[in-house]
Amino acid sequence: MPELGDSTAPPAASAGGSGSTSTNGPAVQLATSAAIEALLELATGTPGSPFHGGQVRFEKGEVVADGLAMPFGELLSSLDLPAVEATATSPRNRVKDHAFRSFGAHFCEARVNRWTMETRVTRWVCVADAGTIVNEKTARSQVIGGIVMGIGQALLEDLRLDTATGRFTNANLGDYLVPVNADIPPMDIHFLDYPDTLLSPLGARGIGEFGIVGAAAAIANAVHNATGQRVRDLPLTPEKLLT
Amino acid sequence: MELSRHGYADAPVGEAAQDALVFTVNGREERLRVDPRVTLLDALRERLGLTGTKKGCDRGQCGACTVHVDGRRVLACLTLAVAVRGRSVTTIEGVCGHPVQRAFVECDGFQCGFCTPGQIMSAVAVVEDGRARTDEEIREAMSGNICRCGAYPNIVDAVQTAMNQDERDRSGVRVVRDAAV
């Protein structure tokens, strides 16, 4: 029987508004530092510890002093402890004279069939400045997903309302078109990965909602470049380009 | 109930409708008594507890319900359970550890994961069929599986990875396959 809302994950800032990593990340970072500090205090302050009374540092998962390096798990076991814990709070950002936004540029190549006016997107490049990129693999996938949605917005998606009844007339995937695999070109995504330390020590800003912004505009500009036609009504269907 | 006039070639007729439906799922024989109108999708999920196959639209438009019947991809939501009498059905639960599944993880070919069982079942068929080799052909062959999270480029990478395990450039430089790039 599935239980809704049952999770072992702790309460955290919600995954929305492109704020999850930028908000939870610094707190995790601080708590990790505090836990390492607590570990090193245990190492030097516990009688019987191989590091008792000495000078220690933490390197690559190991507690290190002159001539001795021990993985932290081994140290905890030797002190008969199951774990070391710490709590930390990341401070609220109080910078008043700066706004924090992620920025980027979309470059889109599109081809428009000269007779049918069908538009196909053939190449895409996106360069983003979102501060520190914590996970390059998933960050790239997130931006790609946004661009795919932008291609849908620009060329395919059209929700039609029956004004007499207020109901949607094309509420199914056969009539409301979302991009399929063959609609999507190869994508080249780059991040500057430049830490925004004014925001937090982690330096990560947001990319959750980033990818779709400006994607449809890039496509519309490419269509204008190809056809000379400026269409400001999405989706850019062949009918709108056939004059 | 006379079913033959509806054109279900393999459906039981008359008294035979009382017999249990016998078919193989992931190598295991199953016997079910089903109403003739039950879809293969509902039989797998509700009767056999194989909930890996997903119901995205229940009308053959999204591909989330993709399974194999005798090795060929079908949409389980548009297949009657009685139509697979005597046949061999493979679901996502039956391809655990397949190189395609590993490739999807390696290439991050998913986000929410809802379309992923269908994508993997399609990808397994595309790889085993072997006729789609270029990125363009793979995209076309995989277009029956919609992904709203937009993982398509990574899905294409995953299919290529699974197909070209030996041919991949081991120096770590990503092999550029598309002529257009």
Residue A1: per-residue pLDDT: 67
What is the tens place of the pLDDT at every residue in A187-231? 999 999 999 999 999 999 999 999 999 999 999 999 999 999 999
Q: Please, what sign has the CA dihedral across residues B132, B136, B138, B139?
A: negative
H-assigned helices in chain B: 40-42, 99-106, 116-129, 135-141, 152-163
B130 in the Ramachandran plot: left (φ > 0), alpha (ψ -120 to 50) or beta?
Answer: left
Alpha helices in B27-98 (DSSP H): 40-42
Q: Which residue of B has its CA nearest to A149?
A: B150
Which among B118, B113, B121, B107 is positioned nearest to B161, based on CA atoms?
B107
- A179: cis peptide before it, omega within 30°? no
Contact B52, B117 (CB under 8 A): yes
Residue A199 CA, distance from chain mean position: 16
Question: Residue B172's pLDDT is what?
Answer: 43
Rounded to 5°, the CA angle A91-A92-A93 comes to: 110
- What would you report as the CA-atom Rg of chain B, rounded to the nearest whole angstrom? 18
Question: Which residues of A have a catalytic role annotated?
Answer: 209
| Euclidean distance between CA atoms A150 and A144, whole angstroms | 10
**What pLDDT score does B18 carry?**
53
| A182 inside 8 A of chain B by CB | yes
**Residues in chain A within 8 Å Cβ distance of B135:** 186
Q: What is the DSSP-derived secondary structure letter of residue B46?
A: I
Stated as kind and residue range, the H or E segment containing B25 is strand B21-25
Distance (Å, whole) CA B79 – CA B82:
8
Average confidence (pLDDT) over B121-138: 95
Mean pLDDT, residues B44-65 taken together? 98
Which among A145, A181, A182 has CB closest to B111?
A145
Chain B residues with CB-CB distance to A181 below 8 A: 138-140, 142-143, 145, 147, 152, 155-156
Contact B126, B138 (CB under 8 A): yes
ipTM at complex level: 0.88
d(CA B89, CA B24): 6
Report d(CA A226, CA A238) in Å as an integer: 13
Q: In this complex, which of B145, B153, B180 lies closest to A184 when CB atoms are compared?
A: B153
Q: Which chain B residue's Cα is nearest to A143?
A: B150
For A141, the closest of B62, B138, B154 (CB atoms) is B154
pLDDT of residue A93: 82
Average pLDDT, chain A: 94
pLDDT of residue B170: 41
pLDDT in tens, B5-52: 444 455 555 545 557 899 999 999 999 999 999 999 999 999 999 999
- A170, burial (CB in 10 Å: exposed 0-12, middle 13-18, buried 19+): middle
Q: What is the pLDDT of residue B174?
A: 45
Of the residues A173, A181, A183, the best mutation for testing chain B's interface (the one with the most B CB atoms within 10 Å of its CB) is A181
Q: Do B181 and A188 touch (CB under 8 A)?
A: yes
Question: What integer pLDDT is reported at residue B159 of this predicted model?
Answer: 97
